[in-house]
């Protein structure tokens, strides 16, 4: 496999043949030429080769027409020749915004002598551009050797560290402990030939300390035994972390309070459950006494009422137990069973029949045989709330008419409770299902605590469903429920 040498400027066929005899190809630097106004500006050109060529028998003296620059892994000087570090090829061919510091002093002198100063000026301009780039960097940039000597620093580094002329060692600007860690990181970076990170705080001229995150990168391939060090002021980042810490601490404290409140609510709900069930059991006891001792004196209608009261009280005890179990499980304990949803709705509507008769209202249900998997007690609670609200918020201008429809929509069903009541204001529809919301229009005339529709929404969402309302204060409201058929 042929090796590759590089030339700047024109080259004769004789030189090309001489290189070919050693299986060396010549490649021209095209990126330099756009910098030239005319090739006549050079009295001579030069060729770049790697020092390994010399070990393979190549004789520099055979190339008499053009000077030869040898580039090598280590900076050395040999009489009669100039040497440049490995990577000079990259330096001469990269884009100007991506310069790497590569040229040593011996090559600058050589170029100045043999290229009429033009290439020397090109390299010097590049050096100025390089310094401009690092000086404008928003980060601290240092190049240090293994002893901690500062070879290069940009303006931000000089200002932050307070660098002074004549004091060019890192020991002069960092305390002994931090300096020792800094030097050790430089050594490890060079030894391991990989990047390392460290954090520390520096003092500004105002003596105000600020945190800095440092990245140490090997730079030995460019300048022997050196490390390129980037530093970033992370004051803003640390402030954000502090705020996050205090937010987290605040949230943890709030969580403790909420857990305490939940515990209190559990105790309170247990107490309420106990008191409610005790009251209901006393009512049941009285009803059973009446049924047992006075049954012969009651009419058929009276006996039927006793039976309905007894059944309603039993349902209430069961409902209290289920709602409390559901609340304690944080909405996860659903006892699902397949039912005909129209049969459950009809049962709920019939339980309000006496109330509809009392207010001279009517209800209508479109029956069907759609099956759905639900917690029957929870679903009964939902329907009872909606029917009760239709009765409570009926219009004073007309008799109540409540229509319930059930529609099959593929994997879901849609249940609509539509009434001709007093309706809901448009601005209230978004907050209607929030806990403790009361319709200001009925707040004094209708008893309640604003938790009924909030409970309805919670129970529907526990079944994987949604509820929304469409309302007109002149025509009434339509409460729509969409539920999956199976859970």
pLDDT, tens only, 188-233 = 998 898 888 887 766 554 345 678 888 898 877 666 778 888 888 7
Distance from C-alpha of 375 to C-alpha of 322, rounded to nearest angstrom: 10
Greater model confidence, 106 or 189:
189
- Tokens 């209901």 sit at which residue? 280
| pLDDT bucket at 110, cuts 50 / 70 / 90 | very low
**Contact (Cβ atoms closer than 8 angstroms) between residue 8 and residue 46:** yes
Residues 397 and 295 in one domain: no
Residues 263 and 402 in one domain: no
Residues 196 and 60 in one domain: no
CATH number at residue 433: 3.30.565.10
CATH number at residue 253: 1.10.287
Residues 351 and 479 in one domain: yes
- Residue 169: DSSP 8-state: B
Distance from C-alpha of 243 to C-alpha of 265, rounded to nearest angstrom: 32
User: What's the distance, Cα to Cα, between the start and end of the chain in Å?
Assistant: 72
Q: Name the least confident of 124-128, 135-139, 359-363.
A: 124-128
Residues 15 and 117 in one domain: yes
The Cα angle at residue 35 between residues 33 and 41, in degrees rounded to 5? 80
Residues 7 and 118 in one domain: yes
Residues 285 and 211 in one domain: no
Residue 20: CB atoms within 10 Å: 12
Count of the separate structural domains present in the chain: 4
Residues 54 and 103 in one domain: yes
Q: How far from 343 is each of 284, 349, 371, CA to CA, in Å?
A: 26, 10, 10
| pLDDT bucket at 383, cuts 50 / 70 / 90 | very high
Domain-ending residue, one of 295, 330, 365 = 330
Secondary structure element (H or E) that encloses residue 407, with its range: strand 401-409
Residues 208 and 296 in one domain: no
DSSP string, 69-123: EEEESS---BTTBEEEETTHHHHHHS-GGG------HHHHHHHHHHSTTHHHHHH
Average pLDDT of the residues in 64-75: 53
Secondary structure element (H or E) that encloses residue 321, with its range: helix 300-328
Average pLDDT of the residues in 338-343: 93
Domain-ending residue, one of 330, 356, 388 = 330
- Residue 398: DSSP 8-state: S
Distance from C-alpha of 316 to C-alpha of 310, rounded to nearest angstrom: 10
Greater model confidence, 437 or 477:
477
- Residue 135: DSSP 8-state: H
In terms of DSSP bridges, do strands 82-85 and 68-72 run parallel, antiparallel, or are they unpaired?
parallel
Residues 183 and 288 in one domain: no
Q: Name the least confident of 74-83, 145-154, 180-189.
A: 74-83
Instruction: Identify the burial level of 229 via C-beta atoms within 10 angstroms of its C-beta, where 0-12 means exposed, 13-18 middle and 19 or more buried.
Output: buried
Average pLDDT of the residues in 322-334: 62
CA 411 to centroid of chain Cα atoms: 34
Q: How far from 89 is each of 10, 49, 50, CA to CA, in Å?
A: 17, 10, 10
Please compute Rg for the chain using Cα positions: 45
Q: How far from 365 is each of 97, 347, 369, 471, CA to CA, in Å?
A: 79, 11, 13, 20
Does the pLDDT of residue 343 top 90, yes or no? yes
**Contact (Cβ atoms closer than 8 angstroms) between residue 479 and residue 417:** yes
- Report for 32-41, 163-172, 173-182, 238-247: range of highest mean pLDDT: 173-182
In terms of DSSP bridges, do strands 196-203 and 209-218 run parallel, antiparallel, or are they unpaired?
antiparallel
CA 343 to centroid of chain Cα atoms: 48
Domain-ending residue, one of 109, 133, 157 = 133
Residues 256 and 120 in one domain: no
Question: What pLDDT score was predicted for residue 330?
Answer: 57
Instruction: Identify the burial level of 87 via C-beta atoms within 10 angstroms of its C-beta, where 0-12 means exposed, 13-18 middle and 19 or more buried.
Output: middle
Distance from C-alpha of 28 to C-alpha of 6, rounded to nearest angstrom: 6
By residue range, what is the domain housing residue 249? Answer: 242-330
Question: What pLDDT score was predicted for residue 271?
Answer: 61
CATH number at residue 165: 3.30.450.20
pLDDT, tens only, 389-434 = 899 888 888 999 999 999 998 889 999 999 999 888 888 888 888 8
DSSP string, 348-397: HHHHTHHHHHHHT-EEEE-----EEEEEHHHHHHHHHHHHHHHHHT--SS
Residues 355 and 464 in one domain: yes
Q: Name the least confident of 26-40, 360-374, 449-463.
A: 26-40
Question: What pLDDT score was predicted for residue 417?
Answer: 95
Does the pLDDT of residue 258 top 50, yes or no? yes
Residue 190: CB atoms within 10 Å: 19
| pLDDT bucket at 274, cuts 50 / 70 / 90 | low
Secondary structure element (H or E) that encloses residue 4, with its range: strand 3-8
């Amino acid at each position: 496999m042929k090796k590759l040498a590089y030339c700047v400027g024109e080259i004769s066929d004789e030189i090309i043949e001489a290189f070919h005899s050693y299986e060396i190809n010549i490649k021209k630097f095209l990126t330099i030429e756009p910098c030239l106004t005319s090739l006549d500006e050079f009295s001579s050109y030069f060729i770049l080769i790697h020092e390994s060529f010399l070990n393979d028998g190549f004789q520099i003296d055979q190339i008499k027409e053009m000077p030869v620059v040898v580039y090598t892994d280590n900076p050395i000087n040999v009489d009669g020749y100039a040497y440049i570090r490995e990577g000079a090829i990259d330096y001469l061919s990269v884009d100007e915004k991506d310069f790497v510091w590569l040229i040593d002093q011996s090559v600058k002198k050589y170029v100045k002598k043999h290229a009429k100063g033009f290439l020397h000026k090109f390299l010097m301009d590049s050096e100025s551009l390089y310094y401009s780039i690092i000086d404008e960097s928003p980060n601290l940039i240092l190049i240090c050797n293994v002893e901690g000597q500062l070879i290069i620093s940009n303006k931000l580094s000089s200002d932050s560290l307070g660098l002074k002329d004549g004091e060019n060692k890192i020991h002069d600007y960092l305390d002994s402990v931090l300096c020792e860690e800094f030097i050790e990181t430089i050594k490890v970076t060079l030894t391991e030939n990989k990047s390392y990170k460290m954090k520390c705080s520096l003092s500004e001229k105002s003596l105000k300390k600020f945190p800095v995150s440092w990245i140490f990168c090997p730079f030995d391939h460019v300048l022997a035994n050196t490390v390129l060090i980037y530093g970033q002021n992370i004051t803003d980042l640390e402030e954000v972390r502090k705020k996050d810490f205090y937010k987290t601490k605040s949230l943890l404290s709030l969580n403790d309070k909420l857990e305490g409140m939940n515990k209190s609510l559990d105790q309170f709900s247990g107490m309420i459950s106990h008191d409610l069930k005790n009251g209901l059991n006393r009512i049941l006891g009285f009803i059973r006494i009446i049924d047992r001792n006075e049954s012969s004196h009651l009419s058929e209608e009276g006996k039927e009422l006793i039976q309905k009261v007894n059944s309603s009280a039993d349902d209430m005890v069961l409902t209290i137990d289920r709602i409390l179990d559901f609340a304690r499980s944080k909405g996860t304990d659903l006892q699902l069973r397949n039912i005909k949803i129209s049969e459950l709705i009809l049962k709920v509507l019939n339980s309000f029949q006496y109330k509809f008769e009392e207010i001279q209202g009517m209800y209508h249900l479109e029956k069907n045989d759609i099956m759905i998997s639900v917690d029957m007690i929870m679903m009964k609670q939902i329907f009872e709330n909606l029917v009760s609200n239709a009765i409570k918020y009926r219009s004073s201008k007309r008799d109540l008419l409540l229509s319930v429809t059930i529609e099959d929509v593929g994997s879901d069903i849609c249940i609509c409770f539509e009434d001709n009541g007093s309706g809901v204001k448009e601005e209230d529809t978004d907050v209607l299902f929030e806990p403790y919301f009361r319709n200001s229009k009925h707040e004094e005339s209708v008893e309640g605590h604003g938790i009924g529709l909030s409970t309805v929404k919670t129970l529907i969402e526990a079944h994987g469903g949604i509820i929304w309302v469409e309302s007109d204060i002149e025509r009434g409201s339509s409460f729509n429920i969409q539920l999956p058929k199976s859970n």
